[in-house]
Structure 1
Amino acid sequence: MNQHGGDASLLRRLNSAAVLRVLRRSMKAATLTELAQQVQVSRPTVETIMDELLEQGWAEECGQERGQRGRPAKLFRFRASAGSVLGVSVGAYRLQAVGVDLGGQVNQSRKAAIFPDMTLDERLDAIERFIAECSQELGRRPMAVGVGTTGVVDSTGRVVKSSVLPGWSGLPLQDELSGRISAPVVVENDVRLAVLAEQWRGAAVDRMDVLYLFAGNRMSLGMLIGGKPYRGAHSASGEIGEHATGLWQVFGSVMDFATAVEPGELRSPAQAAEFAFGQATAGDARAAEAVTALAVGLAEGLATVVGPFDPEMVIIGGSLASGGALLVEPIQEHLNRACLYPPQVVASGLGNDSVAIGAARLALEHSESDIALANRPDVTIA
């Protein structure tokens, strides 16, 4: 059978993509022979492909294999510094970004203040400027930008509903930012990104079924099911909604404590909790009782989800993560009593970075495909 030139060219590009995919996903050094075995092509074919990837900047030579008889084999690896992505968190009061290279190494962290009463255009302009500043600091256009935002976000990156940011409901945020930014943009709900960050760099590494409680001035649940963040039928998974009274009754104990100690000081529920954490850590018995009551209230709510969901881990995130063992231990004790298979309860260690880190992970997943990377001979990476 005669092989057309186009067929041969396509096969070469597919083989090149396969080699690059192996290098990129493992992030480990490999010899030409090892790559040929994994991709299931001949060693001369891999050698030709590797010469192209080295020239284009997607791979690099990194020494020689030791302990082998005869001439040592050269080792090659994916060049993580060949590009970067940005992860951006959009909140009511703050923009936050992390830049990571293609190997996932964080090489940038940046914050900027914004305000809840901004108009829609003002907020979008601020996000555009912020991403431009981050890109300039990186020294290159990011290969992709992940954006995390509050609200119900559908699979197209449209904010279906938002009670936090004015003008955000109904906004096709992904399309809007894509029209303003030269890099590909992907938008997702902030709490789904937070649980993704925990799986990537936090407490839930190698975990497949995880419940993430974002608790602060608002509450949401992030669910990792089978290793993937769960969206739900209407992309509204984890949205708990507002309490009928406008306040979260579970915070009553810490609100009462904070008011009793400093009657003239106005605090949000999250601020009252953080105040109680500090007082309890300093040895105040009343504060400790208030924090325990908060923990039990949270545990009672969590138990109703833990039972049917059956997660292996529950992560306390948001501002309440600063409570650490003060919250974790009472919650763990309650779930141990209430659940058939009690999950491990931990406090998030990612702090305020969780959403931006999750957005960066999402950007990595949505960066240019391996096939596109391997088949752009016109592009050489600096």
Structure 2
Amino acid sequence: MRQQSGDASFLRRLNTAAILRALRAAQVATVTELARAALVSRPTAETVVEDLLAEGWAEECGEEPGERQRGRPAKRFRFRASAGHVVGLSIGGYRLHAMGADLSGQILLSRKTRVHPEMSAEERLSEVTRFVDACAGELGTDTRGLASVGIGTTGVVDEEGRVIKSTVLPGWTGLHLQAELSRRIPAPVLVENDMRLAVLAEHWRGIAVGRSHVVYLFAGNRMALGLLINGQPYRGAHAASGELGEQPNGLWQIFGRVIDYAMAVEPGELRSPGQAAEFAFARAVEGDQRAAKAVEALAGSLAEGLVTVVNPFDPEMVVIGGSLSRGGALLVDPIQDHLQRVCLYAPEVVASQLGAESIVVGAVKLALNNVDTLLFS
């Protein structure tokens, strides 16, 4: 938006932000409706809308079929979502996953690329930079043209986007990831912990839409939590909320039965805990009773752990995410039954519909929230 100086220009910018906010919220509106929503005069609204049209933030709409009335119809306008694009990216040990979206949040592309767990921090940063640049090109712009970039990563991430501690990615502990990527990517960059982004995604576009208090359990080759309190991801005093740390006996205590089952059925096949669970899910669906018993034991272990969170936190919903979300009712039903028995107020237990995409979808939302801050503040 056009920058001016002095008190008058400051008031003009406030009015412009108010009109733009009202236009985005209304989807389609007349100048009179925008003036009323933004609490400004109609002449002021007309001038602002003219500027927004000229700068590409708004566009005029045609009439809807069958709505023509006598006299000259009022012009209607809408926010131009294609005026900018954002990229959301999740950084993992084995892959990068990016999504590009317009300013309405419509996903326009989804791309993945493989990386290696043993990559140095410098190599991983370079690959992230290259990948964001490639995604920007597919969106018809370059990185300078992106409105914002949201990044999700494992580890304890503070409010400035610094990775305080990471046990997954080499060289990540102590890395000021947001500053490093901002130096390489000429667009506004925000970095957040992956589990906070996962629960943000479920609240925005997933199964937790409309819920304010949610526990998101990421279960697979690692265990972590995302907490939503009053509709906002919870950070904790040290930004470490949701980090479960080292589990007793690793993941064996939780996944032992499905690992034993997978080894017994196919002893020559080495599987990670998450892969063993998925193998048992598939065989249980086919009617294998030993697989069903192994999955039931896995559900029982998860439920016992969830009780320690559910009872003090009192959430409305528990979302099972990560690779275990593919278990669906095989996991959800026994966990729900267990919580019904032992919790004062048992939350609804559901499987994530976003699955492995929850983190990158949350990164898109992080970028869109940043755009809102830049446009409307």
The answer as to whether partners of 1:221 and 1:240 remain within 8 angstroms in 2 is yes
So what's the TM-score if we normalise by structure 1?
A: 0.93
2: CA distance between counterparts of 1:67 and 1:295? Answer: 59
2: CA distance between counterparts of 1:364 and 1:23? Answer: 16
Q: Which amino acid aligns with 1:84?
A: H
Partner of 1:299: 303
2: CA distance between counterparts of 1:371 and 1:163? Answer: 38
Offset at 1:41? 1.2
Offset at 1:71? 2.6
Partner of 1:91: 92
Q: Which runs of 5+ in 2 are unaligned?
A: none
Offset at 1:327? 0.3
2: CA distance between counterparts of 1:351 and 1:256? Answer: 25
The answer as to whether partners of 1:13 and 1:371 remain within 8 angstroms in 2 is no
Ranges of 4+ aligned residues in structure 1 off by more than 6 Å: none
So what's the TM-score if we normalise by structure 2?
A: 0.95
1:371–1:288 distance in 2 versus 1, CA, 3 Å: closer
The answer as to whether partners of 1:191 and 1:355 remain within 8 angstroms in 2 is yes
1: CA distance between counterparts of 2:49 and 2:207? Answer: 37
Partner of 2:354: 350
Partner of 1:62: 61
Matches within 5 A, 1:165-244: 165-244=169-248
Matches within 5 A, 1:239-278: 239-278=243-282
1:268–1:353 distance in 2 versus 1, CA, 3 Å: same
Q: Which amino acid aligns with 1:16?
A: T
Deviations 1:343-373 (A, max 9, x none): 111101112211111001000111262257x
Q: Which amino acid aligns with 1:195?
A: V
2: CA distance between counterparts of 1:209 and 1:355? Answer: 18
Q: Which runs of 5+ in 1 are unaligned?
A: 373-382
Offset at 1:69? 5.7
Secondary structure of the equivalent of 2:98?
strand
Deviations 1:64-99 (A, max 9, x none): 474766432111110001001000000000000000
* 2:58 aligned with 1:76: no
Offset at 1:259? 1.1
Partner of 1:8: 8
Offset at 1:243? 1.7
The answer as to whether partners of 1:27 and 1:103 remain within 8 angstroms in 2 is no
2: CA distance between counterparts of 1:135 and 1:226? Answer: 34
1: CA distance between counterparts of 2:226 and 2:376? Answer: 32
Range that drifts further, 139-148 or 97-106: 139-148
Paired residues in the alignment total: 367
Q: Which amino acid aligns with 2:116?
A: F
Q: RMSD of the TM alignment (CA)?
A: 1.4
Deviations 1:158-206 (A, max 9, x none): 0000000011000000000000000111000001100000011100111
Q: Which amino acid aligns with 2:57?
A: W
2: CA distance between counterparts of 1:210 and 1:253? Answer: 28
Secondary structure of the equivalent of 1:369?
helix
Q: Which amino acid aligns with 1:11?
A: L
2: CA distance between counterparts of 1:337 and 1:216? Answer: 25
2: CA distance between counterparts of 1:128 and 1:286? Answer: 47
Q: Which amino acid aligns with 1:315?
A: V
Q: Which amino acid aligns with 2:368?
A: L
The answer as to whether partners of 1:29 and 1:76 remain within 8 angstroms in 2 is yes
The answer as to whether partners of 1:64 and 1:73 remain within 8 angstroms in 2 is no
Q: Percent identity, aligned pairs only?
A: 65
Q: Which amino acid aligns with 2:329?
A: A
Secondary structure of the equivalent of 2:104?
coil
Q: Which amino acid aligns with 1:174?
A: Q
Q: Which amino acid aligns with 1:177?
A: L
2: CA distance between counterparts of 1:170 and 1:6? Answer: 42
